[in-house]
Amino acid sequence: MDTDKDRMIYRELSDAIIGAAMMVSNKLRPGLNEKAYENALVIELHKRGHQVEQQRQFDVLYDGVVVDKLIPDLIVDAKVIVDPKVTENFTDTHVAQMIGYLAITELRLALLLNFKFSDLRWKRVVR
């Protein structure tokens, strides 16, 4: 069971990522594809001193055999998966995908960022 403490893991880092995403959203405005926001977010996070891995590959194992590759959009400071979206709403599918990503990467926090609207929207997913 998640405690309040667990839900707020990496609060300062997630606040910093959201702040960088707000800057990207304010500069680029809505209407672009996800890759544009992803690439701009990498630039903004680097400017702010964060380490960002883009499109890092992880093996998906089944009974010890590699059955696929998992490729999260961004991993920030080796702690947080960041998934930029351009969507009407976050769905259960988006959340389930992040839970799966967290399990495979063995990380504990993912941030879904939605650049669809003039105000940035986000969701924290904790494993």
Each residue's pLDDT tens digit, 48-59: 999 999 999 999
| Euclidean distance between CA atoms 59 and 118, whole angstroms | 36
Look at residue 7 and tell me whether its pLDDT is greater than 80.
no
pLDDT in tens, 85-127: 999 999 999 999 999 999 999 999 999 999 999 999 999 999 8
Q: Residue 126's pLDDT is what? A: 95
Helix or strand or coil: residue 16?
Answer: helix
In which band, very low, low, confident or very high, does the pLDDT at 8 lie, cut at 50, 70 and 90?
confident
Place of tokens 């995908």: 97
| Euclidean distance between CA atoms 125 and 31, whole angstroms | 25
Of the candidates 81, 15, 83, 16, the residue with the CA atom closest to the CA atom of residue 50 = 16
